[in-house]
Structure 1
Amino acid sequence: MDNILLWVSALGTLTAVMFAAVTAIGTLATAAFTALLWWVAKRALGGTNTQLQLLREQAERDGRPYVTADVVPGMHGGGSWDLVISNSGRSIALDTKFAFDVWPRGGKDDHVSEDLIRFLKEPQTLVPGARKRVVWRSQIKRSGTPAFSVGAPEGHTLVLTYSDELGKQYRTEFSFNSSTIGAAAPMPQEGSRTTAGLGDQRAILTDIDYALRTLNIHVGELRR
């Protein structure tokens, strides 16, 4: 009888131990599964946060103003150059202005520098799609004297700064060299000149000749 009681007691103890072991294993499995779920959720949320950050940065890039400056062959014909400023972004550009080294005015014939420098120093507001074109450098031709240029130097650097509506500032540096650009840039051809048969109407025909040449240059510039 005592043996039976001992056997029953040992069996109960073993059952309790096995139950405790199974419970511990279940607890560990639950903890491991919970940890796995946490890791998966963290990876998913991390990926979502990364995507949201990328989307936010893309939206900022798409919505910001983009102001550029470029020197192009001028509308006054060969030897002249124009500065074109434009905002190709989707928002307004505020306090758009340039920092640069002021060049000396080229004498009494320089009708470009003073107005150009004043324009560059004046803060501009550019709405999306806005475009401004001003004379950058001009060539003066006079009968009996060599041609000369007035306005900005052949090579010059401008530092452009502007801000958006939220106050974020942007800065871009542009360097131009009109002699380098001019060596490769296409220029509109002037019309042919009549050299004979002017007769008494020479002055009128000369005026027409000048007008046609100017018109031809401007049409060529529109096709650029």
Structure 2
Amino acid sequence: MREPTFTDQVSAWSELAGATFSFLVLLIAFATWRTAREALRASRDANIQTKRDSIEQTRPYVYAEVVPSLAGSPNWDVRVANVGKSAALDLRLDFSDWPEPPDDVAQSVRTLFTTRRTLAPGSSIRAMWRLESGPDSRFEDGSVEAGLGKSGTITLAYRSSDPEAPTYSDHFQVMIDDSGLWPIPEAGPSGSRLSGEKLAFYRLGQSIARAIGEQRR
């Protein structure tokens, strides 16, 4: 067997150095690729989160509440408002306890709820929800109340104009008897000592004050 010469040793060391260099280059390339992949993934996740944040910040937000009526106590109105930053499209509502058969007030609310509409940001819809007759009077059909009940759940569904935004759905409780004593925006004496035109003008002023106060509620 021939003894390895100096040239052979140099050649072997060169091949080993070349293989080691190639392996190091491969490791560096793999590390660079992995770093680039992680950076790309982080950038993509950041873009997705930014888009989600933008959707949340500019989304419509519609709520429903039953409040004392502009027609005066002890009547009630339903108010549907969009306090979001964009229009609510295809808005439709439902109620958990529709009376059967519905009277005129209940039917008007059902028509309002089932008619799809667009609600612009900062706008609202208000309609009669419940009417109650006075202690010494009744409605023409002999009943003492009309419209919808004092409890139940109002469901809303709507969407945004952004095609990537989800369809929103929310539930709001009607709890007239469980909401404490409602303050009514009306002040001053009762006017019990007034009569005739003075009483009529006094009640007109009360109605105006109540309406202004309710609009600010």
TM class by smaller structure:
0.7 to 0.9
Q: Give the match for residue 220 of structure 1.
A: 213
Q: 1:208 to 1:155 in 2, by over 3 A?
A: same
Separation (CA, whole Å) in 2 of partners of 1:163 and 1:52? 22
Q: Does 1:191 align with 2:184?
A: no
* RMSD of aligned Cα (Å): 2.8
TM-score, normalised relative to structure 2: 0.80
Q: 1:131 to 1:55 in 2, by over 3 A?
A: same
Which whole-Å deviations, capped at 9, do the CAs of 1:115-156 have from their partners, x for residues lacking one? Answer: 2222222222212332111111233225478x9442210002
Separation (CA, whole Å) in 1 of partners of 2:122 and 2:216? 20
Q: Give the match for residue 148 of structure 2.
A: 152
Report how far residue 168 of structure 1 moved.
5.4
Letter in 1 for 2:132: Q
Of the three residues 69, 79, 82, the one matched with 2:77 is 82
Q: Give the match for residue 3 of structure 1.
A: none
**Structure 2 segments unaligned to the other structure (5+ residues):** none
Q: Give the match for residue 158 of structure 2.
A: 162
Q: How many residues align?
A: 209
Point out the more displaced range, 61-70 or 163-172: 163-172
Separation (CA, whole Å) in 1 of partners of 2:184 and 2:98? 29
Letter in 1 for 2:176: S
Counterparts of 1:103-122 in structure 2, within 5 Å, are 103-104=99-100, 112-122=105-115
Separation (CA, whole Å) in 1 of partners of 2:190 and 2:69? 22
Report how far residue 16 of structure 1 moved.
1.3
**Structure 1 segments unaligned to the other structure (5+ residues):** 1-5
Letter in 2 for 1:118: T
Letter in 1 for 2:47: L
TM-score, normalised relative to structure 1: 0.78
Of all paired residues, the percent bearing the same amino acid is: 22
Which whole-Å deviations, capped at 9, do the CAs of 1:15-70 have from their partners, x for residues lacking one? Answer: 11111111111111111111111121111111111101111222333343322212
Q: Does 1:45 align with 2:40?
A: yes
Q: Does 1:136 align with 2:136?
A: no
Q: 1:221 to 1:164 in 2, by over 3 A?
A: closer
